[in-house]
Amino acid sequence: MKVKYDPDFLKRLKKLNVRVRNRFKKIIVLFAKDPNNSELNNHPLKRDWEGYRSINITADYRAVYKEVKIAEKIFANFVMLGTHDELYSKN
What is the SS3 string spanning 1-70?
Answer: CEEEECHHHHHHHHHCCHHHHHHHHHHHHHHHHCCCCHHHCCEECCHHHCCCEEEECCCCEEEEEEEEEE
Q: With a cut of 70, list the residues of the chain below it in pLDDT.
A: 90-91
What's the pLDDT tens digit per position in 26-48? 999 999 999 999 999 999 999 88
pLDDT at 90: 66
Residues with Cβ within 8 Å of 9's Cβ and at least 6 positions away in sequence, in order, are 63, 78, 79, 80, 81
pLDDT at 1: 83
pLDDT at 55: 97
Structural domain of 31: 2-85
SS3 90: coil
Residue 38 forms part of a structural domain:
yes
pLDDT at 4: 95
For the chain, what is the domain count?
A: 1
SS3 88: helix
CATH of residue 67: 3.30.2310.20
pLDDT at 88: 83
Residue 91 forms part of a structural domain:
no
pLDDT at 6: 96
